[in-house]
Amino acid sequence: MGASNDDVNLWVGLSLIPGLGDVSYRKLLHAFGGPKEIYAASYASLADTVDKNIADHIRRGVDRDVLSSLIAWLDDPANHVITLADVDYPQTLLQIPDPPPLLYVKGRRELLNRPSLAVVGSRNATPQGLTNAESFSRNLSDNGLCIVSGLASGIDAAAHRGGLGGMASSIAVVGTGLDIVYPSSNHILAHELAQHGVLISEFPLGTQGKAHNFPRRNRIICGLALGCLVVEAAIRSGSLITARLAAEQGREVFAIPGSIHSPVSKGCHALIKQGAKLVECANDIQDELKWISPQTFVPAKTAREPENDFQPLLDALGFDPAGIDRLTSRSGLTSDTVCAMLLQLELEGRIASLPGGLFQQIIQPR
């Protein structure tokens, strides 16, 4: 059950006061009990708790003009504001040191209290990384773990697609107001999440995608989840911030290894060296979490075995990128044959072409 519209207006009104951050907001709640009591408090008692300018703003009351866009937004039954006082506020977020006092929510709010796994990684992902993110997420979602990510390009978007394709669905934690889609290229995906999953933000409507918002939202991504899987990450990736926050929150951290030559594998390898669990399949994560699926998982499709005609070329390609000259030398095939096979394999989605005239085999995770 959620708060009444009047209560929501009070909660949001407080959050919009200039200079009032989450720490001061929680201090007020601790001192007075709730927004109604905070607004009813004397100036002197407020000024003993927070900055005098903030106390002055509170005594003036809620600015209805500032709240007008929120009131219109809440007319859509898919839109909600969930506060610390609501019974369906995500219980896992209450375990972190700095839970947001309120969340803007669009979509299926009941997903916020489902067992979840965070899946994050590089915006500049490789084709294999995208395949891994979507396949792992689909498998885990079918086994009852909701997939949490940040709606960024690359690994995040692939993870959401996998979560939406499974039974448990997906949660997107964004670094903007929920009336803005960032990046705009994920507009269709955001619409699908609003219909079949859920989008959440701690930022007020109208908040643009500023750089400092995204590290902040990462604590919510891992705070919602039982653990955090990093699929691909460069050594200075923001995904490593999420992994560090997950470890600090007492969550399990998982990482998929990759080629020693790939820049977007170096972050995962660093995490593994620091104690993250190396995973090769979704079952590795479930075993570590001691997670028992609430339903039997039935794969949507059995992976097609490589045709024998292509096997010499696939063997020559192996698991690291290679160019046509090297493949011709390794396989013993003519360059014309290699080019024709590469084209066919790429059309079938079994290899990907990379910059520099290189090709890489795409392996479907188990």
What is the value of pTM for the model shown? 0.81
User: What does the radius of gyration of the chain's CA atoms come to, in whole angstroms?
Assistant: 24
Q: Quick one: what percent of the chain has pLDDT higher than 70?
A: 94
Does residue 325 have a pLDDT over 90?
A: no
Cis preceding linkage at 183, omega within 30: yes
**Is 268 found in the same domain as 177?**
yes
**Is 162 found in the same domain as 254?**
yes
- What ranges in the chain are assigned the alpha helix state H? 5-15, 22-32, 35-40, 43-47, 52-60, 64-73, 127-142, 155-165, 187-196, 213-223, 238-248, 266-273, 282-289, 311-317, 324-331, 335-347
pLDDT tens figures, 44-101: 999 999 999 999 999 988 878 778 889 999 999 999 999 999 999 999 999 999 999 9
**Is 267 found in the same domain as 355?**
no
Does residue 304 have a pLDDT over 50?
A: no
The domain that holds 356 is classified in CATH as 1.10.10.10
The domain that holds 200 is classified in CATH as 3.40.50.450
Average pLDDT over residues 260-269: 94
Alpha-carbon torsion angle 317, 321, 326, 328, nearest 10? 40
The count of domains in the chain is: 2
| Parent domain of 321 | 308-361
**Is 246 found in the same domain as 154?**
yes
Of 52-61, 159-168, 216-225, 302-311, give the lowest mean pLDDT range: 302-311
Kindly report the number of other CB atoms within 10 A of residue 79's CB atom.
20
pLDDT of residue 120: 98
